[in-house]
């Protein structure tokens, strides 16, 4: 087995036992990035030199017996997290040359525990998208391909999902042992599902948003990706924690998530929301969902049908609240303080030229929608109404969790699609988020676990949703699904096809 195929936990144990050095581990990942990133475009910035120097420091710490939870572990960082002295673009031209003087709390926490950063990953511009096609730095190619007839792989380039598509592709293709992402409407879980890896969006407030480029502040959730549930548990344990610099960060003990992975599901009640039976959903996704419920029942859980009656308003609510907050957050990119400046005849001409040159189509669409729904004449009809519906969606979850301990649903209504698909129809693209946005609107934790392959050999994920701040049960249920599914399929790029 090569070093890049190890799980994060096995790599950590191997480092501590000195079976290989941090330099060897990081160099193996840097070599994999050099070989495969030209095709995948998963990284916007590769920090190979700094990573190797950090690896040497990690080896020195390991030699002194001073290993942290992640000492010497190579990770990829979504280019939405500010990293001190390393360019942070948010996938946008407007921040193309922005080098933050500060470090986000989440990445600082990972560094505190010894992690090594191999680079900054590609994403939809300002995390707005479900495909990674809206990045100003070009699309990411999924490491997966559809199985064609006669065993010859279909040539179509597929999307890794979005917006954290670069992070998901990097972890799936074994260019890093784990990665950070952010989930505002599904951007951790949907790319995890499309890419055959695990991703968890913790409860709102678990991970600090400080130093994360803001999209929609009441919905942005930082979280980890990895190739196993336990690896995600270790990463989240490091990323999470109270941060006085983020007023929405919660002051609660961070439990031992890795221990929670071993709890099992005996005696748990698992809810099946009947409203998640979307019309037109492929039969194989429905079948996988049923299979997931069978696995949980066989492991000792009780399956209960429940109702989340306001599910059908989730997407509409999200696509009012998220653009509204985005239009406000993105007002700061005016050519004065950050990144790009295009000179103009006067100040307002400079603003206009800078924003016209700096923002792509999807970002402009969101700013326009957001400005509209917040405008004096429409605020009550759209924004205020959406906030009321959001409260009803939260109440649905509260009522459901009075009856059950966790919910099981599909993560997405389809497997990965091809580059260019859904691009001319934004609403069709937004439908990808139908199963993921409710958990963002409610702030409850939710994970995607790879559970099987579709008829084309593409990964499909199942989603586990938990009570607010009960990530532990989400990890317990996710680990049982992972164990039962025994998902070992390699992405095409690593299977040599």
Residue ranges that bind ligand GLN, judged by CB under 6 A: 127-130, 163, 182-187, 215, 322, 433
Q: Which residue lies nearer to ligand GLN by CB, 188 or 404?
A: 188
Nearer to ligand GLN, 222 or 457 (CB): 222
Find where tokens 């497997």 sit: 415
Residue 154 has what DSSP assignment? P
Kindly state the smallest distance separating residue 326's Cβ from ligand GLN, in Å: 8
Place of tokens 């099946």: 272
Q: Is 281 exposed, middle or buried (0-12, 13-18, 19+ CB in 10 A)?
A: middle
Least Å distance, CB 318 to ligand GLN, is: 7
Which residue, 122 or 163, has its beta carbon nearer to ligand GLN? Answer: 163
**Residue 96 CB, nearest distance to ligand GLN (Å)?**
20
Does the annotation count 163 as an active-site position? yes
Q: Which of 92, 104, 130, 163 is catalytic?
A: 163
Residue with tokens 């009075």: 402
For the CB of residue 317, give the shortest distance to ligand GLN in the complex, in Å.
12
Please say whether the beta carbons of 169 and 207 come within 8 A: no
308-311 long-range contacts (CB < 8 A, ≥24 apart) are: 308/273, 308/275, 308/276, 308/393, 308/396, 308/397, 308/400, 308/438, 309/275, 309/396, 310/389, 310/392, 310/393, 310/396, 311/273, 311/275, 311/276, 311/393, 311/396, 311/438
The answer to whether the beta carbons of residues 176 and 166 sit under 8 Å apart is no
Nearest Cα neighbor of 478 from 494, 496, 455, 462 is 462
Whose Cβ is closer to ligand GLN: residue 215's or residue 276's? 215
Give me the catalytic one of 78, 120, 145, 201. Answer: 78
Q: Determine which one of 92, 167, 187, 492 is catalytic.
A: 187
Q: Does residue 91 contact residue 215 with C-beta atoms inside 8 Å? A: no
For residues 327 and 371, the answer to whether their CB atoms sit within 8 Å is yes
Name the token pair of 319: 């696509």
Nearer to ligand GLN, 318 or 338 (CB): 318
**How far apart are CB 444 and ligand GLN at their closest, in Å?**
15
**Closest distance of CB 132 from ligand GLN, Å:** 10
CB closer to ligand GLN, 41 vs 184? 184
Residue 78 designated active-site = yes
Catalytic (active site) residue 217: no
DSSP conformation class of 409: E
Q: Point out the residues that are catalytic.
A: 78, 163, 187
């Amino acid at each position: 087995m090569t070093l890049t195929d190890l799980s994060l936990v096995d790599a950590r144990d191997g480092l501590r036992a000195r079976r290989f050095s941090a330099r060897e581990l990081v160099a193996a990942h840097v070599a994999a990035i050099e070989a495969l990133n030209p095709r995948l475009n998963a990284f916007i910035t590769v920090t190979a030199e700094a990573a190797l120097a950090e690896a040497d420091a990690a080896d020195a710490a390991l030699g002194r017996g001073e290993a942290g939870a992640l000492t010497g572990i190579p990770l990829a960082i979504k280019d939405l997290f500010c990293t001190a002295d390393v360019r942070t673009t948010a996938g946008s031209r407007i921040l193309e040359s922005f080098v933050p003087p500060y470090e986000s709390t989440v990445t600082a926490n990972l560094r505190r525990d010894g992690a090594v950063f191999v680079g900054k990953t590609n994403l939809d511009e300002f995390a707005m998208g479900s495909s990674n096609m809206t990045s100003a730095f070009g699309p990411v190619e999924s490491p997966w391909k559809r199985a064609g007839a006669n065993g010859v792989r279909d040539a179509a380039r597929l999307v890794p999902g979005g917006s954290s598509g670069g992070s998901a592709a990097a972890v799936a293709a074994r260019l890093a042992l784990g990665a950070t992402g952010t989930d505002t409407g599904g951007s951790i879980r949907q790319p995890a599902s499309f890419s055959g890896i695990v991703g968890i969006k913790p409860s709102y407030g678990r991970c600090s948003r400080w130093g994360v480029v803001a999209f929609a502040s009441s919905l942005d959730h930082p979280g980890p990706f990895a190739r196993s549930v336990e690896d995600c548990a270790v990463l989240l344990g490091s990323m999470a924690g109270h941060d006085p610099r983020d007023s929405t960060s919660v002051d609660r003990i961070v439990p031992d998530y890795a221990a929670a992975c071993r709890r099992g599901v005996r005696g748990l009640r698992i809810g099946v929301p009947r409203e998640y039976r979307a019309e037109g959903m492929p039969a194989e996704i429905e079948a996988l969902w049923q299979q997931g419920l069978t696995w949980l029942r066989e492991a000792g859980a009780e399956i209960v049908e429940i109702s989340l009656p306001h599910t059908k308003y989730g997407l509409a609510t999200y696509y009012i609240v998220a653009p509204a907050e985005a239009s406000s957050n993105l007002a700061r990119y005016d050519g004065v303080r950050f990144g790009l400046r295009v000179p103009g005849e006067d100040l307002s001409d400079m603003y206009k030229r800078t924003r016209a040159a700096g923002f792509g189509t999807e970002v402009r669409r969101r700013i326009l929608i957001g400005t509209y729904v917040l405008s004096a004449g429409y605020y009550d009809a759209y924004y205020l109404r959406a906030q009321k519906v959001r409260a009803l969606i939260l109440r649905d979850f509260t009522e459901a969790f009075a009856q059950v301990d966790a919910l099981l649903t599909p993560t997405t209504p389809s497997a990965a699609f091809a580059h260019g698909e859904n691009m001319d129809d934004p609403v069709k693209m937004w439908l990808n988020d139908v199963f993921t946005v409710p958990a963002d609107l409610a702030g409850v934790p939710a994970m995607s676990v790879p559970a099987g392959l579709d008829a084309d050999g593409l990964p499909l994920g199942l989603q586990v949703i938990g009570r607010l701040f009960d990530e532990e049960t989400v990890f317990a249920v996710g680990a049982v699904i992972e164990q039962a599914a025994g998902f070992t399929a390699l992405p095409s790029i690593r299977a040599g096809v």
